[in-house]
Structure 1
């Protein structure tokens, strides 16, 4: 049971990392587009 909880937390952390990375990429892309067209 303890192992399941740990792996669940690990999976949650990985998902969080993925979301953060895609958010950063989107923000950088939007910023570069804004800078390009302004």
Structure 2
């Protein structure tokens, strides 16, 4: 269970960095990524 949580956290961080690197952070929020973070 701990590994799954860690994996999800890492994937979330990578996703955020990827979105920001591509300049579509706003789109990420539209897709509900912001809700997933909190």
Corresponding residue for 2:10?
19
Gaps of 5+ in 2: 25-38
Structure with the greater relative contact order (CA < 8 A, sep ≥ 6): 1 or 2?
A: 2
Name the Cα RMSD after superposition.
Answer: 1.5
Q: Under a length normalisation based on structure 2, what TM-score does the superposition of the two structures give?
A: 0.60
Higher helix share: 1
Query: What number of residue pairs does the alignment pair up?
Result: 24
Instruction: Report the TM-score when normalising by structure 1.
Output: 0.60
Moved over 2 A (4+): none
**Higher-Rg member (1/2):** 1
